[in-house]
Amino acid sequence: MDFSLSEEHKMLQTTVRDFANEKLAPVADELDRKQEFAQDNFKMMADMGLLGLGIPPEYGGSGGDELSVAIAVEELSRACAATADILDAHLCLCAAPIYRFGTEEQKQKFLPALVKGERIGAMAITESEAGSDVSNMQTTAARDGDDYILNGTKIFITNGDVCDVVLAFANVPELGERGMTAFLVEADSPGYSKGKKYDKLGMRAATNADQVLEDCRVPAANRLGDEGRGMRIFLELIDHGRIGIAAQALGITRAILERTVEYAKNRKQFGAPIASYQAISWRLADIYTELEAARLLTYQTAWLADNGQSFRTQAAMAKLYATELAMRASTLGIQVFGGYGYMMDSPMQRYFRDAKLTEIYEGTSEVQRMIISASLFR
């Protein structure tokens, strides 16, 4: 059993790490304060080919696999988790599903522009009454000749204020409870508009807004998969997405651990560095150990996905464990920094705010435990 990364993966890791250190980390706090879509970061990711990870070269992509995406997301998140969030919404939740489920015509139409960063992607399923329970979705799609007419409002959509292509889910009423269907809605579609933009606690450079569909006319050619196949598409894309969120949490935890260890080595109290006290050093040792365990679980899940094996339960485990670790680590980081840790000019406050979202989106911790426990008792 070989746990080492391939030369290609090592090269990707080094390249993204250097980019994140040089370009993302210096501006992360400023972007967080502005709470504006990180357009420059998005363009740089496009120029590096990161928007095309996992997409074959014939569609303009960079190739690579699920592990490649996880490695890149971890490195980005260590510097600026919001930038990794933008990538996740654009690539994992929009471009990758088009590649997996789209027709050849759809792939040729959408993927090259998404990969180049000429168009920004998003995924829209969440509604006011359909959060964890997506089966309660109220958005409808009615066939009208060569088009569908979509009606409904999607909320909290990442990249929602800037997106050009939205993978939106709606119910075809005639199919009853099996009516969920996926559509590629373009921003210039009649009846489509962007709604409320949100003031978020964390991940503030990855902006969120509502997607409003009022008699929105979408060509039948933009339907992704068959009618009634939307739930299958959603479950698969969200399983892949959870690997990305787990990797995001790994990057946040790494950043916290590095900054906290450095602070503990230099901060002196009672005549000695606080790192010399077991009350500090042992707790950081626990975080370090759990970080290594979380990475193994995340990378194993990516390996399962890359090798065509079932990975839904492992994806839930990886997301649950890595994201709750990030939250514990951020709380400990604030505690170690003491009073300074609670100040808004402390590095810990952004990590704390960013880490919390990883426990919520793409399936809450409670939903992950439901998935894991169901696999025990099936």
Distance of CA 312 to the CA centre of its chain: 16
Interior angle at CA 168, CA 201 and CA 126, nearest 5: 40
pLDDT for the residue numbered 142? 98
- 1, part of any domain: no
Ramachandran bin of 177, using left for φ above 0, alpha for ψ from -120 to 50, beta for the remaining angles: alpha
CATH number of the domain to which 150 belongs: 2.40.110.10
| Judgement on whether residues 157 and 208 belong to the same structural domain of the protein | yes
pLDDT confidence of residue 133? 87
pLDDT tens by residue, the chain, 378 residues: 789 999 999 999 999 999 999 999 999 999 999 999 999 999 999 999 999 999 999 999 999 999 999 999 999 999 999 999 999 999 999 999 999 999 999 999 999 999 999 999 999 999 998 888 888 999 999 999 999 999 999 999 999 999 999 999 999 999 998 999 999 999 999 999 999 999 999 999 999 999 999 999 999 999 999 999 999 999 999 999 999 999 999 999 999 999 999 999 999 999 999 999 999 999 999 999 999 999 999 999 999 999 999 999 999 999 999 999 999 999 999 999 999 999 999 999 999 999 999 999 999 999 999 999 999 998
- Quote the pLDDT of residue 317: 99
Contact yes or no for 92/240 (Cβ under 8 A): yes
- Could you give the number of structural domains in the chain? 3
The predicted pLDDT at position 155 comes to 98
Burial 59-75 (b: 16+ CB within 10 A, else e): bbbbebbbbbbbbbbbb
Strand partners, 216: 150
Whether residue 305 sits in one domain with residue 369: yes
Task: State the pLDDT at residue 177.
Answer: 87
Helix, strand, coil % over all residues of the chain, rounded to 5: 60, 15, 25
∠ CA 64-362-349 to the nearest 5 degrees?
A: 95
* 362 labelled catalytic: yes
Q: Provide the CATH number for the domain around residue 109.
A: 1.10.540.10
CATH at residue 269: 1.20.140.10
pLDDT at 1: 77
Q: Which of 66, 75, 127, 362 is catalytic?
A: 362
User: 181 is in which domain, residue-wise?
Assistant: 121-228
**Tokens 């690997």 identify what position?**
243
195 belongs to a structural domain: yes
Characterize the bridge pairing of strands 121-124 and 165-171: parallel
Q: Evaluate whether residue 2 is within a structural domain.
A: no
pTM of the model: 0.96
